[in-house]
Amino acid sequence: MEPAAVIFDLDGVLIDSESLWDRVREALAREHGGTWYDGVHRAMMGMNSAEWSGYMHDELGVRLSPAEILDHVSEALIERYRVDVPSLPGAAAAVRRMGRRWPLAVASSSPLRVIEAALAAMDIRGEFAAVVSSESVPRGKPAPDVFLEAAARLQVEPACCAAIEDSAGGIRAAAAAGMRVVAIPNPDYRPDPDAIGHAAVLLDAIAGLTPELLTPRDERGAP
Three-state DSSP at 131 gives strand
pLDDT for the residue 220:
54
| Torsion angle, alpha carbons of 7, 103, 49, 26, to 10 | 60
Sheet holding 161-165, edge to edge: 130-133, 104-108, 5-8, 161-165, 180-183, 201-202
Within 10 A of 206 (CB to CB), how many other CB atoms are there? Answer: 24
The residues facing 215 across adjacent strands are none
Asked if 151 contacts 5 with a C-beta cutoff of 8 angstroms, the reply is yes
CATH class of 18-84: mainly alpha
Question: 3-state DSSP helix/strand/coil percent for the chain, to nearest 5?
Answer: 50, 10, 40
In CATH, the architecture of 5-16+86-219 is 3-Layer(aba) Sandwich (3.40)
Question: Same topology for domains 5-16+86-219 and 18-84, yes or no?
Answer: no
Domain ranges of the chain: 5-16+86-219, 18-84
Catalytic option among 9, 11, 145, 166: 9
Three-state DSSP at 169 gives helix
Provide the pLDDT confidence category of residue 45 given band limits of 50, 70 and 90: confident
- Our answer to whether residue 9 is catalytic in this structure is yes
* Residue pLDDT, tens place only, 48-97: 899 999 999 999 999 999 999 999 999 999 999 999 999 999 999 999 99
* Residue pLDDT, tens place only, 188-215: 888 989 999 999 999 999 999 999 999 8
